[in-house]
Structure 1
Amino acid sequence: MPLYSVHHSTTYRYRQPVRLGQHQLLFRPRDSFDQRLLACRLAVRPEPSEIRWIHDVFGNCITLVDFAAPTDVLEFETTIRLEHTPENAPDFRIEPYAREHPFAYDETELPDLAPYMLRHHSGDVAVDDWLSKFIAPSASRPTGQLLMTLNEAIAEGFSYRRRTSHGTQTPAETLDLQQGTCRDFALLMMEAARSLGFAARFITGYVYVPGRDGPARLGGGSTHAWCSIYVPGSGWVEFDPTNGIVGNRDLIRVGVARTPAQAIPLSGSYWGEADDELGMEVAVNVKTETGPAPEETGTAAPDRAAVSSTGR
């Protein structure tokens, strides 16, 4: 069972001291049967006036940070450690009624799945045109095979390009450019799956890059994004169309949401001039460790505020 350690730092610099609004972080992984949080730590500079945690509408752990003093440097540094149980191959144990697509979800699950079946870009016909090139509208196909085909079509047919600008491309933009980021590919697969009648969720987290131990992974060195599709009998099955991964292998799940805009790793505001912001620096390092995980102490540099917690 791999033990992952993730170090993530984000630094904002300003031309002159600015007044900071509340900042919101989504960095604490979701505990589950396949990943167990051992410890997490947050260090903030300058010292916040208050740090508190809430659970959002999706059950994600959100950290809210408030500040009192102006500053020209804002830094967040997070460290998480967790045990991870990888799924080496997809295991589609599908209910008999859903083994062939198309099918209808069970009426007892439909009210809860319905919001995740609604297309985010309902008027976008580009997705339907793209699907028609390799999926016959009236044909019946094995459900698992259909979803894997969709995942592979994005992984093999589009070029990954890291983008520094905020936001997520629309599926039509991704199809037109034939390139995008992991967030763009996740949204494209979600919209394609929803157009076929599936419920789909957006996932944000991290991807482990094995290096010499295995094939290269795209999206490493930053936060990563993928999606999950609800399959009766298998539950929420994860698909990473950026890397063609089915299941959770090399993926560290932090937050889930209905749309990409609801799963931003770090967001906030400041009061100042438009040109006061000089830029942002982000560094992410994901590595594996061996042996038992020591407890986090919560120590930090003297000019930072630090908090830590452990999951048991």
Structure 2
Amino acid sequence: MPLYTVHHTTAYRFRRPVKLGQHQMLFRPRDSFDQRLLACRLEVHPEPAEVRWIHDVFGNCVTLVDFNISAEALEFETTIHLEHTPENTPDFRIEAYAREHPFSYDRSELPDLEPYIRRHFRDDRTVDNWLSKFIAPGQSRPTGQLLMTLNEAISEGFSYRRRTSQGTQTPAETLGLQQGTCRDFALLMMEAARSLGFAARFITGYIYVPDRDGPVRLGGGSTHAWCSIYVPGSGWVEFDPTNGIVGNRELIRVGVARNPAQAIPLSGSYWGDPDDEAGMEVTVNVKSEPAGHALI
């Protein structure tokens, strides 16, 4: 069972002292059967007036940091240590009624799944046109095979380009550019899956990138994003279209949401002018630790 340590630093610089407003952080992993948080540490400079924790509407653990000071620099440093149980291959144990697509979700689950089935870009047919190139409308296909085909189509058909600007491209923009970030690819897969009637949700977290003896992984050095699709009998199955991963292998889940804007790792405000911003630096390091390694 791998042990991972994640060290994440975000530093803001300003051209003159600005009054710092509340900041919201999403960095504490969700405990589950496949990952268990062992230790966690947060350091903030300058020292905040208050730090408190809440659970948001999705059950994510959110940190709220308040200040009563002005400063020319602001730095957040987090370290987490966790156990991780990888799924090396997808285990699609699908209920009989859902083994072939298309299908309808069970009525007892539908009210809770409906928000995740609803498309965000209903009037844009770009995704439907793209899907029609390799998925015949109305044709019956094995559900697991269909989802893996969709994941591979994005992984193999688009170029990864790291982008420092905030926000997420629309699926139409990603299709037009044929490139994007992990957040862009996750949103594209979600919209494509929803157009096929699947429930899909966005995931933010980290990816372990082996220094050696492993394949190249995209999205390392910063936070990572992927998605999960609800499959009856298997539950929420994770798909990373950036790297073509199915399952949680090398993926550390921190937060889930209905759309990317609801799962931003760090956001906040300050009182000042836009020109006061002098830059931001983000550093993420995910390391595998030997069993018995001392906790932070």
Pairwise TM-score range, normalised by the shorter structure: over 0.9
Deviation at 1:293, TM superposition (A): 4.1
Q: How does 1:1-312 map to 2 (within 5 A)?
A: 1-296=1-296
Is this contact kept in 2: 1:38–1:293, CA < 8 A?
A: no
What do the CA deviations read for 1:227-250 (whole angstroms, capped 9, x no partner)? 000000000000000000000000
AA of the residue aligned to 2:233:
G
Aligned counterparts of 1:242 and 1:146: Cα–Cα separation in 2: 17
Gaps spanning 5+ residues in structure 2: where? none
Aligned counterparts of 1:58 and 1:6: Cα–Cα separation in 2: 23
Aligned counterparts of 1:248 and 1:213: Cα–Cα separation in 2: 19
Is this contact kept in 1: 2:12–2:280, CA < 8 A?
A: yes
Aligned counterparts of 1:145 and 1:69: Cα–Cα separation in 2: 55
What do the CA deviations read for 1:146-171 (whole angstroms, capped 9, x no partner)? 00000000000000000011000000
What do the CA deviations read for 1:158-206 (whole angstroms, capped 9, x no partner)? 0000001100000000000000000000000000000000000000000
Is this contact kept in 2: 1:238–1:246, CA < 8 A?
A: yes
What do the CA deviations read for 1:51-70 (whole angstroms, capped 9, x no partner)? 00000000000000000110
Q: Secondary structure of the equivalent of 1:108?
A: coil
AA of the residue aligned to 1:144:
G
Deviation at 1:212, TM superposition (A): 1.1
Aligned counterparts of 1:227 and 1:136: Cα–Cα separation in 2: 23
Aligned counterparts of 1:65 and 1:96: Cα–Cα separation in 2: 48
Aligned length: 296
Compute the TM-score of the two structures, normalised by the length of structure 2: 0.99
Deviation at 1:274, TM superposition (A): 1.5
Q: Secondary structure of the equivalent of 2:230?
A: strand
Match of 1:299 in 2: none
Gaps spanning 5+ residues in structure 1: where? 297-312
Is this contact kept in 2: 1:93–1:233, CA < 8 A?
A: yes
Aligned counterparts of 2:212 and 2:44: Cα–Cα separation in 1: 34
Deviation at 1:137, TM superposition (A): 0.2
Q: Percent identity?
A: 81
Aligned counterparts of 1:32 and 1:165: Cα–Cα separation in 2: 32
Q: Secondary structure of the equivalent of 1:42?
A: strand
Q: Secondary structure of the equivalent of 2:173?
A: helix
Aligned counterparts of 2:54 and 2:238: Cα–Cα separation in 1: 25
Q: Secondary structure of the equivalent of 1:202?
A: strand
Q: Secondary structure of the equivalent of 1:269?
A: strand
Compute the TM-score of the two structures, normalised by the length of structure 1: 0.94
Aligned counterparts of 1:21 and 1:33: Cα–Cα separation in 2: 36
Q: Which runs of 4+ in 1 moved over 2 A?
A: 293-296
Aligned counterparts of 2:55 and 2:224: Cα–Cα separation in 1: 21
Aligned counterparts of 1:176 and 1:274: Cα–Cα separation in 2: 31
AA of the residue aligned to 1:249:
R
Deviation at 1:217, TM superposition (A): 0.2
Q: Secondary structure of the equivalent of 1:268?
A: strand
